[in-house]
Amino acid sequence: MSWDVDNQDDWPEKRQPEAPRPESAIEFERRFVVPREVFEERMQVVGTDALPTVSAMRICDLYVEPVKPGSPPLRLRVMRIQHRGPTGLLDGTTSLCEATVKTGSDSTERPEHTYSIPREAVEAWETSIPREQRFDINKTRLSWNQAGAKMHVETVFSRRHAGASLDVPGVRNENAHRALQRTLSACWAIAEAEFPTREEKNAYRPPEGWIEVSGIKPFSNYNLARHGWPSIADYPFLAGPDPDTGSPQSNTP
């Protein structure tokens, strides 16, 4: 092997490293709004002998607006895997970081391109991007495998408040919206079912009480981060069961 001493671009320390290659795959997924009890029931068995395959993870997603309108946003994710310690509390976190871009118009079936990145890169983005160009969301996710599908159920809270105005006497709208966000986060969770094939995705039948929101943009992670939970006025089922019948006030978002 030889190299040209006069050509500085050929010096080992001057050579540019290869760009990291993403892990790319087609994601087959369906998305649901589920009662918070679904999350709490699974949390009770995290790391126990009853169902040891359930894992817990804290996730912070940071979405960066694309420069070119119509392009998909960049998602930066910090994941902290949690384990149940001897005291019964979740501890022993391990941090993982990644950058992801999802392309395609069908949210249930689209290419996903993911890069592993160092934590410092996320911190650099957080400090360098103007607040109005980035949106974040915090989640606690429980995961398990079920009949070949990868199941996730997660609580969702965004720092953003809902977009619809509320007429609450003596309370600023922004404060009322933030209170609404906390209320909805306490009542509902998001469930995702990921499948290896299109056929399995289409054949899946969710449990009773799960309300499908696949393809409904206000319930995407990006829009939950940007706007918070959708308003009850637009999606009455978020108000909870009808007090007279006990059924969801609207089972069709």
With helix as H, strand as E and coil as C, how does 164-193 read? CCCCCCCCCHHHHHHHHHHHHHHHEEEEEE
Q: Specify the pLDDT at position 134.
A: 77
In a domain, residue 91? The reply is yes
| CATH number assigned to the domain comprising residue 194 | 2.40.320.10
Instruction: List the chain residues with pLDDT less than 50.
Output: 1-17, 161-172, 251
In a domain, residue 85? The reply is yes
Q: Specify the pLDDT at position 175.
A: 61
**Total structural domains in the chain?**
1
pLDDT single digits (tens) 2-40: 333 344 444 434 344 455 566 778 889 999 999 989 888
- Give the domain range for residue 40: 26-239
Q: Specify the pLDDT at position 93.
A: 67
Q: Specify the pLDDT at position 83.
A: 64
In a domain, residue 146? The reply is yes
CA atoms of 235 and 207, how far apart (whole Å): 20
Burial class (CB in 10 A: 0-12, 13-18, 19+), 173: middle
In a domain, residue 95? The reply is yes
In a domain, residue 18? The reply is no
Q: Specify the pLDDT at position 146.
A: 84
In a domain, residue 161? The reply is yes
Element (H, E) at 57: strand 55-64
* Tokens representing residue 70 in the block: 């119509």
